[in-house]
Amino acid sequence: MVSDAAMTRHHSRPGMRKILTITLASVVAVLAQTSAHAAPPFDGLWATSRKDCRDKDGPDSKTFIDLDNIIKGKPAPLVDQYENHCRVDRQTPGGDGLVLTTTCFEFWDDYNRGGSGRKVTIKLSPGPKDTLRIDGKSYLLCKRKSDLSKNR
């Protein structure tokens, strides 16, 4: 005769396998869903025309986005345009892109000390092949963040 303990051990193994299989399948499903919803690569230098992509000072449409920016070891996401330096306070998924709640400053000195800022909402949406819509306006990719020099 088989003891009750042996019967319990024998019948609990298939149950454990089933639980383990379900758990692993759930983890894989969650990871797949997370990677499918990852934010598009917005980081880089963007402009409304190839002409504006040139490295010249002065007013133009060049926009630098660095959502992984770090200052003094702390996250400091940034959207930077001519005389419009924006610290990203919050990133929220919006449609197929992101809605950025920012504080923008006209001068870098104000940005660095946090004074004279104004609240601005910026909507980023991916476009076809190396394009981006910023607040509904189409921008071309000038350079990926990884291709820009470190002394920006």
State how far the Cα of 55 lies from the Cα of 44, in Å rounded to an integer: 14
Left, alpha or beta for 111 (phi > 0: left; psi -120 to 50: alpha)?
Answer: alpha
Tens-level pLDDT at each residue, the chain (152 residues):
555 555 444 445 656 555 544 544 443 343 333 333 444 589 999 999 999 998 888 889 999 999 999 989 999 999 999 999 999 999 999 999 999 999 999 999 999 988 889 999 999 999 998 999 999 999 999 999 888 865 44
The distance of Cα 135 from the centroid of its chain, to the nearest Å, equals 16
Tokens at 140, concatenated: 């071309």
Alpha-carbon distances of 151 from 29, 69, 117, 147, rounded to whole Å: 41, 14, 25, 12
Sign for the CA dihedral angle at 60, 98, 108, 46 comes to: negative
